[in-house]
């Protein structure tokens, strides 16, 4: 007799992520998952039962969860990611203990989740594993903390960095990211979506702007620093149609299954900041023309995922260098699978399956019916939207909120 799985998903009950996962279960002929909300977890109200399998998904589509985790009432505010991380990792630890005590099982390793949501620790683990990453003076647990602009300037001088990304250690969706440049003669400028209010508070804006004085850049860095900062060399990216290009590659159970090109006229490729889906076929052709192999590019992503063996699915941000000759990993995202309508790469074993269906198929290989491949690129060409959708609902005002849903 076939034993039907008893699944639980911890996420946003009304969010797209939970809906896509439930759709994947139904397509496989499996029973729907019981849904536990993050506010229930954070409030100590979540309960689990023996024999259940518990999947954690992002809290990012739940405004109440965001308020509880970050401790700010305005969802457009940048500040609070440090508090988010402390509360989120504590909640995951307590949840994990409750799951074990109940006789249930957790799909992913909570310890790895804590590393994935700290860009400094994640970068250090990747570097130790031999994965190519941008140079960083804040990489690893022993790296110096950045207390503000004075500390940052000292680090930049020591490392000899003139173009760098300054990121919130626990940020996501480009929240708080600054692309900083200096001419070495004391002049600085920063490209960012951060908007600084008259009172010094920081907000996420839909408009990418440039600050051209050290005083302005320093004020933003000083305001961000209490939440923790990560710094890394700004690598010159490959281009496609005159736009900077990178890739999001999903790796499931150690195998790269889905990939999409992201392009932008700014240093950030996020959709809500003007990013758009690129041409995967053209990217593969550019790699081949440069004397490289697409399989090697995917192999870099698989090596990055292998640094987190207890995590079933990750989204890897792959940075192709100018000319598409070399690759580095920018970040590894714990919840990097929200790619609507994107189907699997040829030969990946996920042909015809979106990222959620591919995860269900990997976990329950006997239950999922075969689905024919829908196209050579693993994408739906009729979809007018960028599959790299924000991990939050579309904003209803000029400033989107930050969520901490991924390390993107």
Q: What's residue 385's pLDDT?
A: 36
pLDDT at 90 over 80: yes
Q: Which residues are 54's β-sheet partners? A: 8, 106
The structure tokens listed for 177 are: 């990211």
The structure tokens listed for 196 are: 């600084």
pLDDT at 35 over 80: yes
3-class SS shares of the chain: helix, strand, coil, % to 5: 30, 25, 45
Q: Which residues are 317's β-sheet partners? A: 248, 331
Q: What's residue 2's pLDDT?
A: 54
Nearest to 331 by CA among 109, 111, 136: 136
Q: What is the pLDDT of residues 125-173, one digit of tens each?
A: 999 999 999 999 999 999 999 999 999 999 988 888 999 999 999 998 8
- As a whole-number percent, the residues of the chain with pLDDT over 90 amount to 80
CB 47 within 8 A of CB 40: no
CB 330 within 8 A of CB 319: yes
Q: What's residue 157's pLDDT?
A: 87
Residue linked to tokens 């909640």 = 91
Q: What is the mean pLDDT of residues 274-299?
A: 96
Q: What is the pLDDT of residues 103-131, one digit of tens each?
A: 999 999 999 999 999 999 999 999 999 99
Q: What's residue 172's pLDDT?
A: 87
Q: Which residues are 230's β-sheet partners? A: 167
Higher pLDDT, 2 or 71: 71
Q: What is the pLDDT of residues 326-337, one digit of tens each?
A: 999 999 999 999
CB 11 within 8 A of CB 5: no
| CA Rg value for the chain | 21
The structure tokens listed for 63 are: 């405004």
Distance of CA 390 to the CA centre of its chain: 10
Q: What's residue 5's pLDDT?
A: 79
- As a whole-number percent, the residues of the chain with pLDDT over 70 amount to 89
Measured distance CA(367)–CA(363) in Å, rounded? 9
pLDDT at 302 over 60: yes
Mean pLDDT computed over every residue of the chain: 89
Q: What is the mean pLDDT of residues 360-381?
A: 57
For residue 224, the SS3 value is: helix
Q: Which of 3-17, 230-244, 361-375, 390-404 has the lowest mean pLDDT?
A: 390-404
pLDDT at 258 over 50: yes
Q: What is the pLDDT of residues 189-201, one digit of tens each?
A: 999 999 999 999 9
Task: Tell me the pLDDT band of 369, cut-offs 50, 70 and 90.
Answer: low
Q: What is the mean pLDDT of residues 302-315?
A: 98
Q: What's residue 368's pLDDT?
A: 57
What are the residues whose beta carbons fall under 8 Å from the beta carbon of 196, sequence distance 6 or more? 202, 203, 216, 219, 220, 223
Q: What is the mean pLDDT of residues 341-358?
A: 96
Q: What's residue 396's pLDDT?
A: 28
Order of strands across the sheet that contains 229-233:
202-211, 188-196, 178-182, 163-168, 229-233
């Amino acid at each position: 007799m076939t034993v039907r799985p008893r699944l639980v998903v911890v996420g946003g009950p009304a969010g797209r992520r939970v809906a896509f996962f439930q759709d994947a279960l139904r397509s496989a002929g499996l029973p729907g998952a019981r849904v536990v909300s993050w506010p229930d977890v954070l409030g100590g109200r979540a309960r689990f039962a023996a024999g259940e399998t518990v999947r954690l998904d992002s809290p990012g589509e739940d405004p109440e969860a965001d308020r509880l985790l970050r401790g700010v009432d305005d969802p457009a505010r940048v500040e609070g990611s440090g508090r988010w991380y402390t509360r989120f990792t504590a909640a995951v630890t307590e949840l994990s203990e409750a799951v074990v005590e109940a006789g249930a099982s957790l799909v992913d390793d909570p310890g790895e989740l804590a590393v994935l949501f700290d860009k400094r620790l994640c970068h250090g683990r990747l570097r130790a594993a031999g994965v190519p990453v941008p140079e960083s003076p804040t990489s690893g647990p022993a790296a110096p903390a950045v207390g503000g602009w004075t500390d940052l300037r000292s680090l930049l001088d020591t490392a000899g960095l003139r173009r760098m990304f300054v990121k919130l250690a626990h940020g996501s969706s480009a929240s708080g990211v600054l692309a900083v440049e200096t001419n070495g003669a004391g002049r600085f400028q920063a490209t960012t979506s951060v908007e600084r209010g008259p009172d010094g508070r920081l907000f996420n804006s839909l408009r990418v702007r440039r600050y051209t004085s050290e005083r302005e850049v320093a004020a933003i860095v000083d305001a961000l620093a209490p939440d923790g900062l990560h710094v890394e060399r700004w690598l010159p990216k490959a281009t496609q149609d005159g736009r900077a290009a990178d890739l999001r590659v999903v790796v499931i159970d150690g195998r790269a299954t889905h990939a999409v090109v992201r392009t932008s006229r700014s240093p950030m490729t996020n959709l809500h900041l003007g990013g758009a889906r690129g041409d995967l076929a053209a990217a593969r052709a550019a790699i081949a023309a440069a004397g490289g192999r697409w399989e090697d590019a995917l192999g870099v992503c698989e090596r990055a995922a292998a640094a987190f063996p207890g995590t079933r699915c990750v989204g890897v941000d792959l940075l192709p260098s100018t000319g598409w000759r070399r690759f580095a990993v920018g970040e590894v995202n714990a919840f990097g699978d929200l790619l609507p309508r994107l189907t699997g790469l040829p030969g990946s074993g996920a042909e015809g399956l979106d990222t959620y269906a591919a995860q269900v198929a990997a976990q329950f290989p006997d239950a999922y019916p075969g689905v024919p491949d829908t196209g050579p690129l693993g994408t739906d060409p009729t979809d007018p939207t960028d599959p790299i959708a924000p991990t939050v609902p579309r904003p209803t005002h000029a400033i989107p909120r930050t969520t901490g849903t991924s390390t993107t």
